[in-house]
Chain A
Amino acid sequence: MVKWKRLPLNSNYAVAYAVKDADVDVIAAYPITPQTTIVEKIAEFLANGEFDAEMIHVESEHSALSALVGASAAGARVFTATASQGLELMHEILHIASGSRLPIVMAIATRALSAPISIWCDYSDLMNTRDASWITFINSSAQEVYDTLIMAYKIAEDPRVLLPVMSAHDGYIMSHTVEPVDVAEDPEDIRRFIPKRRDRINILDPDRPVSIGTIVRPEWFYEVKYQQVVAMREARKVIKEAQEEFASRFGRRHDVIETHMMDDAELAILTYGGIYGTAREAVDMMRAKGMKVGSVKLRLWRPFPADELRKALSNVQAVAVVDRAISYGTPIAGPVALEVISLFYDEKDAPKVISFVAGIGQRTVTEYDFVGIAEKSLKYLSSGSIPKETIYWGVRGVEV
């Protein structure tokens, strides 16, 4: 039986504990708020001899991920963490990591993008990485952060997948707030769940030399990129298996989506990250008043859990998708809302999708905001006119 110790940890520290327990070999990172304390805590573990790893101090995030591309190609288990501008600076290497099929794992403490400068949370940094072929999780609690990061190695290193994994949590709201987290008393319990494997072909080994990072002409390139499409498809299955094994070994069950009060709901509120907890509380408040509202959490962003969402939303009349990022210049500006709309495209009796944007640059979103969003959505539904554009919730001077 696995023994746990309950520690008060913020999500950044939960990441650091997971990295220690996963026995990562190489860490390369550059400090950026609000991620910095992840790597600080890891450095503390290393200094105290609590685990052994190579920590590479680099001069930028571009170099951090580049160093990991090399280390992962050499067969090491690797980790980095970043946020906001740092993630943007990595962007080029994001594609190189996934295209080279290296199982790199990265934590993101999400933060709004400049300009103007904001160190506070929204998901504009994470959403910009949408097409980089990284498996992307969005966590809602520090426990989930710890568990997801451990599963991330299981998923990334699976020979059917071999894609990098990003695991995100809210900057500040989660990265700097303390929650009780169960961490393994004995890291060996975790290490038995994710044994290190050297069976992938893209490892640089003098006894079996390979070239990684080749130039590929038009008659080959398309096929190589299609392999990534298939790997993402496979990942959906592998993620399910990893969650299943995690649950049976450790007794904590996670899924790609989470639902609350959805059995008889007429309206669903769909969101992700730290504000999901707020949405769930708002649902309980509305239920107490007799409103048939439920909530859905998106925990996995890529690969998009299409089947699970379609099933979860099959009985509601409408779904209000609350995004924390803006895709500028398109009528539906919520990245997740766009995906949910595409789920039901051309389907009869599909739920109406209403796109909301909220919590930009860490503008506070309370239970009452969710109640307001739900009331507004129900009003649209009863009037029969669903807005074709995103509703920017909470902008001063905009009437909704």
Chain B
Amino acid sequence: MAESKEKFPQTPIVLKEPKWNEVWMGALIPEPGNSVLNNTGTWRVFRPIIDQDRCIRCLICWMYCPEPAIKILDKPYKTKQGREYKITLEIDYNYCKGCGICVQECPVKAIEFVEEVK
């Protein structure tokens, strides 16, 4: 039975897991609109990992991702083969549910699918 608002977890729950007496009584939500604090990727079983050297920046994964949890970053990248890209694709694991569609759709098989180990 948390008494004050201060006890409400503001940080992502995957990082800080509140004890029973820090959770609001009866799973009450005292802050409207706080679902933005809710990371929906906590139940992922497999984690997709992009191999930045193999990735050809075709954005097919970005188009297919249902969340969408793939971010296009203005971050230059030079592959081991010397090819230069202006962008980098990264997966936001706070929201990726591990559905594996990106893994399936990648035309160059640049996304690995690795089991999550707790």
Contacts and interface: CB of A to CB of B under 8 A. Distances in A.
B29 A211 contact: yes
Contact of B26 (A202, A208, A230): A202
Contacts of A223: 18-20, 23
**B interface, by DSSP: helix, strand, loop or mixed?**
loop
Contact of B27 (A208, A209, A224): A224
Given A201-B30, A223-B19, A227-B20, 4 more contacts: A217-B43, A221-B27, A227-B25, A227-B26
Interface string B53-97: 000000000000000000000000000000000000000000000
Interface in B23-38: 23-30, 32
* Shortest 4 CB-CB contacts between residues of A and residues of B: A211-B29, A223-B20, A101-B26, A226-B20
* Residues of A in contact with B, size category: 20 to 34
A95 B79 CA distance: 58
A337 to B, nearest CB: 32
A231 B32 CA distance: 26
17 contacts: A101-B26, A159-B1, A201-B24, A202-B25, A202-B28, A208-B30, A211-B28, A214-B28, A214-B29, A218-B43, A219-B42, A220-B13, A220-B23, A223-B19, A227-B21, A227-B23, A231-B1
Contacts of A99: 26
Nearest to A225: B20
Contact of A210 (B1, B21, B29): B29
A92 to B, nearest CB: 17
From B13, B21, B26, residue with most partner A Cβ within 10 Å: B26
A100 B28 CA distance: 8
Given A223-B19, A227-B21, A210 B28 contact: yes
A202 B21 CA distance: 16
A159 B2 CA distance: 11
